[in-house]
Amino acid sequence: MADLSILVTGASGLIGQRILRRLQRSQRNAVGIDISSKPGQIPVHIADLCDIHRLHGIASQEDVGSVIHCGAVSGPMVMIDNPYGIVQANIVGTANIIELARIHRMRRVVFCSSTSVYGPTDEPPAGSKGVPENAVLRPTSVYGATKVAGEQIVAAYRKQHGLDAVAVRLSWVYGPGRTTDCVIRTMIEDAHGGRQTCLEWGRDFPRQFIHVDDAVDALLTAHDAVTCPGAAYTATGGSFLTIGEVSQIVRRVLGQPEIDVQPGPDPLDDYQHRFDISAIERDLGFRPALSLEQGVDAYSQWLKVPLTREFQEKP
pTM of the model: 0.94
Q: For residue 256, what pLDDT band results from cuts at 50, 70 and 90?
A: confident
Identify whether the C-beta of residue 251 lies closer than 8 Å to the C-beta of residue 293: no
pLDDT in tens, 80-135: 889 999 999 999 999 999 999 999 999 999 999 999 999 999 999 999 999 999 99
CA 30 to chain centre: 19
pLDDT at 309: 47
pLDDT in tens, 152-187: 999 999 999 999 999 999 999 999 988 888 999 999
When comparing pLDDT for 74 and 183, which is higher? 183
User: Residue 39: is its pLDDT beyond 90?
Assistant: no
The domains of the chain, with CATH numbers, are 5-172+209-238+271-289 (3.40.50.720)
CA distance 172 to 116: 9
**What is the average pLDDT value for the chain, to the nearest integer?**
94
Q: How far is CA 294 from CA 45, 136, 205, in A?
A: 34, 33, 22
Residue 241 pairs with which residues in a beta bridge? Answer: 207
pLDDT higher than 50, residue 308: no
Is the model's pLDDT at 32 over the cut of 50?
yes
